[in-house]
Amino acid sequence: TGILLTICMILGTIFPVLAETENTSLEISAASGILMEVETGKILYEKDSNTRRSPASVTKVMTLLLIFEQLESGKLSLDDIVTTSAHAKSMGGSQVFLEEGEQQNVETMIKCIVIASGNDASVAMAEHIAGSEQSFVDRMNQRAVELGMKNTHFADCCGLTDSDAHYTTAYDLAKLMQYCMKNSTFRTIAGLKFCTVPATNKYGERIFTSTNELLTLVDNRNYYYKYAIAGKTGYTTEAKNCLVSVSNKDGFELISVILSVGLYPNNISGKFVETKSLFNYGYDNYTLRKLREKDAIATQVEVGNGTKETKNLDLLISDDITATIKQSDFNTEFEPEIQINENLHAPIAQGEVLGKITYNIDGISYSAELKA
């Protein structure tokens, strides 16, 4: 641990952290990085997070999102059969060695993309959904626009390209993963550790282990992180090592993005080490705190034309209000802003929305409706 810390400190002097953080001792050597809380999108740490960089196979997060949205719409089924084309088979880099004409179902193809980072499986799925890889890439770029990924453009569906037209940022990837984590199927499959490609006429059964070594112990390399629940790795010579990952500790979910990081001495993988450092920083310095509970009385209002029983009406909070706060602020009493609708007059129905309660903490607003 002491040796690793020394290495991190040396690398940190070469690549200074640009963001202001509560713990200024945190340093990463990756060219770009970000740590985001999942529910609110609150940024807990960032370094050069809006600079455009090549994402390598982290590209496949968008590919997977489009696949899962096709499943949700009913236009695609996990049992549908996908046939591998010559173009899909020709993909280099990470692959599951699909043969031209080989048929596998959608569920297997998805697992090949998530777990083995199969470029061949990605292209096969793109062609199956959109008719051609380019048509699918056009959809990827349109979806990026819709999600507000302002510094993102894709040139292929798997990230194998080194084209200057293929780029994104740590911030855009964090926002993309935040959106993906709302999809229950994505959450389940993105955390799988192993996949099996069934035997065909040309190949026997193929078994692959996740490229995301935060999820499992591989070849006795200790990158395992017990709170990791999902993620996608990437590597090309242009992009270097990349990783977007999600962790969950007691319901507190964080997204980490590391872009363009090399190897530490002794072939230690910077993308795993620095992702763990970001997650640990988040859990050491921040926490979730429930500010108000659902159905708690927020305030009392006077109702015009009300009876003796309803003239002074309790307003109840519609939902729990939970905030991401610094550990050092855990016992701080935060004062909310309460807005009440004007000219309240009876009759008022039970459950009617009459206002809003908001806590503004470190640039993030946490709010709920106020109901009768």
Q: How far apart (Å, rounded) are the C-alpha atoms in residues 306 and 312?
A: 8
State which amino acid sits at residue 285: N
Q: How far apart (Å, rounded) are the C-alpha atoms in residues 360 and 357?
A: 10
Q: How far apart (Å, rounded) are the C-alpha atoms in residues 162 and 55?
A: 10
Task: Please indicate whether residue 77 is annotated as part of the active site.
Answer: no
Task: Please indicate whether residue 135 is annotated as part of the active site.
Answer: no
Tokens read off for 148: 């507000």
Closest-CA residue to 246 (of 236, 234, 257): 257
DSSP 286-329: EEEEEEE-TT-EEEEEE-BT--TTTSEEEEEESS-EEEEEEGGG
Asked if residues 246 and 181 have their Cβ atoms less than 8 Å apart, the reply is: yes
SS3 content of the chain, % helix, strand, coil (to 5): 30, 30, 40
Q: How far apart (Å, rounded) are the C-alpha atoms in residues 262 and 15?
A: 12
Asked if residues 103 and 81 have their Cβ atoms less than 8 Å apart, the reply is: yes
Q: How far apart (Å, rounded) are the C-alpha atoms in residues 114 and 318?
A: 38
The 3-class SS string of 148-164 reads: CCCCCECCCCCCCCCCC
Which entry of 94, 117, 247, 318 is annotated as an active-site residue? 117
Which entry of 42, 60, 175, 240 is annotated as an active-site residue? 60
Entry field: residues in the chain: 372
Task: Please indicate whether residue 57 is annotated as part of the active site.
Answer: yes
Peptide bond into 347 cis (omega under 30): yes
Tokens read off for 135: 């048509």
Query: 87: burial class by Cβ within 10 Å (0-12, 13-18, 19+)?
Result: middle
Which entry of 57, 210, 277, 318 is annotated as an active-site residue? 57
Q: Which residues are catalytic?
A: 57, 60, 117
